[in-house]
Chain A
Amino acid sequence: MPRDNPVHGTMTDPILAIRGLEVRFRTSDGELAAVKGIDLDVDAGETVAIVGESGSGKSQTMMSVMGLLAANGEARGSVKYRGQEILGLPSRALNRYRGRKLSMIFQEPMTSLDPLYRIGDQLAEPLMVHGGLGRKAALKRAEELLDLVRIPDPARRLKSFPHELSGGQRQRVMIAMALANSPDVLIADEPTTALDVTVQARILELLGDLQKRLGMAIVFITHDLGIVRRFADRTYVMKSGEVVEHGPTEGLFAAPKHAYTRMLIEAEPSGRKEPVPTGSPMVLEAKNINVSFHLRQGLFGRSAHEIRAVAGVDLAIRRGETVGVVGESGSGKSTLGRAVLRLLPASGLVRYEDRNLMPLDRKAMRPLRKELQLVFQDPFGSLSPRMTAGEIVTEGLLVHEPGLTRGERDRRAAQAFEEVRLDPLSRHRFPHEFSGGQRQRIAIARAMILKPKLVVLDEPTSALDRSVQKGIVELLRDLQQKHGLAYVFISHDLAVVRALSDEIMVMKAGKVVERGSVAAIFEHPREAYTRELMAAAFLDRREQITSC
Chain B
Amino acid sequence: MTDASLTSQGGTAARGRSLSTLALQRLKRNRAAVASLIGLALIAIFCFLGPFLSSHPNDRVYQSYVAVPPSLEPYPAAATLERTMQRALERARVDMGDFSASGTTFRVTLTSPRPIDPRVTRYIDRVDEFDDARVVETLEEGRRLVVEGTVQRQWFLMGTDMSGRDLMTRIMVGGRISLIVGLLATLVSLLIGVAWGAIAGYAGGRIDNVMMRFVDVLYSLPFVFFVILLVVYFGRNFVLIFVAIGAVEWLDMARIVRGQTLALKRREFVEAAQALGVGTGGILRRHIVPNLLGPVVVFMTLMVPKIILLESFLSFLGLGVQAPLTSWGVLISEGANNIQSAPYLIVFPSIFFVSTLFALNFIGDGLRDALDPRDR
Which A residues form the contact surface with B (CB < 8 A)?
28, 263, 341, 343, 365-370, 372-374, 376, 378, 381-389, 395-396, 398-400, 421-423, 425-426, 428-430, 432-435, 437-438, 441, 443, 446, 450, 467-468, 470-471, 475
Contacts and interface: CB of A to CB of B under 8 A. Distances in A.
A383 B274 contact: no
Interface string B26-70: 100100000000000000000000000000000000000000000
Contact of A386 (B9, B19, B26): B19
Given A384-B291, A396-B277, A430-B19, A443 B10 contact: no
A28 B279 CA distance: 38
B275 interface: yes
Query: 8 nearest interchain CB pairs?
Result: A429-B16, A369-B277, A423-B10, A426-B10, A382-B268, A374-B275, A381-B268, A396-B276
Nearest to B272: A382
Given A366-B277, A395-B278, A428-B15, A376 B10 contact: no
A435 B6 CA distance: 8
Contacts of A395: 273, 276, 278, 282, 286
B3 interface: yes
A365 B1 CA distance: 40
A471 B2 CA distance: 7
Nearest to B276: A396
B13 interface: yes
Contacts of A374: 271-272, 275
B269 A381 contact: yes
Nearest to A456: B275
A101 to B, nearest CB: 31
B13 A429 contact: yes
Contacts of B273: 384, 395
B299 to A, nearest CB: 18
Given A365-B277, A366-B277, A366-B279, A429 B272 contact: no
A384 B10 contact: no
Nearest to A449: B276
B83 interface: no
Contact of B6 (A396, A437, A450, A470): A437
Interface in B82-134: none
A20 B94 CA distance: 101
Given A421-B6, A426-B10, A382 B15 contact: no
B266 to A, nearest CB: 10
Contact of B276 (A263, A435, A438, A446): A446
A433 B17 contact: yes
Interface of B: 1-3, 6-11, 13-20, 22, 25-26, 29, 267-269, 271-279, 282, 286-287, 290-291, 293
B251 to A, nearest CB: 26
Given A385-B291, A446-B272, A428 B14 contact: yes
A305 to B, nearest CB: 19
A263 B19 CA distance: 34
Given A399-B279, A425-B11, A386 B268 contact: no
A388 B16 contact: yes
Contacts of A422: 6-7, 10
Contacts of A468: 2
Contacts of B29: 28
B277 A430 contact: no
A399 B277 contact: yes
Contacts of A263: 1
Given A28-B25, A388-B16, A376 B268 contact: yes
B19 A399 contact: no
Contacts of A387: 286, 290
28 contacts: A369-B276, A370-B277, A374-B271, A376-B272, A382-B268, A382-B269, A386-B19, A387-B286, A395-B278, A395-B286, A396-B276, A396-B277, A399-B282, A400-B277, A421-B3, A421-B7, A423-B7, A423-B11, A428-B14, A428-B15, A430-B16, A430-B17, A432-B19, A435-B6, A437-B2, A438-B9, A450-B276, A468-B2
Contacts of B25: 28
Contacts of B282: 395, 398-399
A381 B278 CA distance: 18
A438 B272 CA distance: 17
Given A383-B269, A437-B2, A341 B275 contact: yes
A467 B2 CA distance: 7
A437 B16 CA distance: 18
Given A399-B277, A433-B17, 16 more contacts: A28-B25, A374-B275, A383-B272, A385-B291, A395-B282, A395-B286, A398-B282, A399-B282, A400-B277, A423-B11, A426-B10, A426-B14, A430-B17, A438-B9, A470-B2, A471-B6
Contacts of A378: 268
Given A430-B16, A470-B2, A386 B290 contact: yes
Contacts of A389: 16
Contacts of A441: 6
Contacts of B267: 381
Contacts of A434: 10
B46 to A, nearest CB: 34
A193 B293 CA distance: 34
B317 to A, nearest CB: 42
Nearest to A429: B16
A366 B283 CA distance: 14
B332 to A, nearest CB: 41
A532 B80 CA distance: 105
A283 to B, nearest CB: 17
Nearest to B1: A263
Nearest to B374: A70
A382 B287 CA distance: 11
A435 B271 CA distance: 21
Contacts of B22: 28
Of listed B8, B18, B277, B293, residue having the most chain A CB within 10 A:
B277
A425 B6 contact: no
A403 to B, nearest CB: 16
Contacts of B18: 386, 388, 430
Nearest to A370: B277
A110 to B, nearest CB: 16
Contacts of B269: 381-385
A522 B341 CA distance: 95
B19 A429 contact: no
Contact of B275 (A369, A384, A475): A369
Contacts of A400: 277
Nearest to A397: B276
A307 to B, nearest CB: 18
B367 to A, nearest CB: 16
Contacts of A399: 276-279, 282
B336 to A, nearest CB: 45
B277 A384 contact: no
Nearest to A385: B19
Contacts of B16: 388-389, 426, 428-430, 433
A471 B3 contact: yes
B356 to A, nearest CB: 30
Contacts of B276: 369, 373, 395-396, 399, 446, 450
A426 B275 CA distance: 24
A183 B100 CA distance: 99
A386 to B, nearest CB: 4
A366 B14 CA distance: 34
